[in-house]
Amino acid sequence: MISNSAKNRLLICFSWTSALVLATGFACILGFLFVQGLPAFKAGLIFGDSPVLDALLLKRQVFGGLFPAMVGTVFLVILSMVMALPLGLSTGIWLSEYAPPGLKGGLSFIMDILAGIPSIVVGLFGFSITIFLHHYYNGRIFPCLLISAVSLAFLVLPYIVKTTQGALESLPLPVRLTALSLGASKLENIIYVLLPSALSDIISGIILAVGRCAEDTAVIMLTGVVATAGIPKSLFSNFEALPFYIYYIASEYADHSELIKGYGAALILLLICTGLFMLAHGIKYWIDGKVRFRP
- Written as tens digits, the pLDDT of the chain (295 aa) is 567 777 788 888 988 999 999 999 989 988 888 888 888 777 678 887 777 777 777 777 777 788 888 888 889 989 999 999 999 999 999 998 888 888 888 888 888 888 888 888 998 988 888 888 888 887 778 888 999 999 999 999 998 999 999 989 888 888 888 888 888 888 888 888 888 888 878 887 888 888 888 888 888 888 888 877 788 888 888 888 888 888 888 887 777 878 888 888 888 888 888 887 787 777 777 766 665 544 3
Nearest residue to 206 via CA among 289, 281, 151: 281
Q: Which amino acid is at 63?
A: F
